[in-house]
Amino acid sequence: AQSKDLAGLTLVFPADDGAFDVFCWAWIPQETAREHEKTDHVPYREWAKMGLVELTPGDVIDHRYVSECIVAVHERFRMVELAFDPFGATQLVTPLQEDHGILCVKVAQVFANLSEPMNLTLTLARTGKLRHGGNPLLRWQAGNVAAQVSKFDPKVVRPYKAKSTGRIDNMVGLYMALSRAIVHGSETEYVGA
């Protein structure tokens, strides 16, 4: 996440029936939450009361705080690996790897990495096999995702924001987590991004 934006973590849990259970965490600076409510047209502070978003201290994302939360999630669920966008993630990922032994895997935001999991997400959603408990944050972000189509193949896509104020962090995290789950197949229990 950029310093004043939303940061997100999405875990996928493969199920025996071919479905995936999805859990999300999100963080936004406490002092900018009200401003973001006006631009994004969503109730961040209400979502914080519901436990869907955590308000980090200050007016910028506290990466140390987010890192501590990720470590707690890892200790609870024993993530096999944590997929991350290599653009601007060094200060968050380095201590997770070096200090906590979390296997962090770069997933660049390119067609080759995101097309298959993005298409899988649509299939899972249409067949009722993408289970997220009706999470309003994830639903809102899903509505902000548009598909950029490759000029070489119309079936090859990657996500982008449909509008500048839309946030898609947890959805991109879902695609990255699914990309790693696809690689691991049935050998893994939990993958996060």
pLDDT tens profile 117-137: 999 999 999 999 999 999 999
Residue 37 burial by Cβ neighbours in a 10 Å radius (0-12, 13-18, 19+): middle
Please tell me whether the overall predicted TM-score, pTM, comes out greater than 0.75 for this model: yes
Query: Cβ distance 1 to 7 under 8 Å?
Result: yes
Instruction: Identify the three-state secondary structure at position 120.
Output: helix
pLDDT tens digits, 13-28: 999 899 999 999 999 9
Band the pLDDT of 11: cuts 50, 70, 90.
Answer: very high
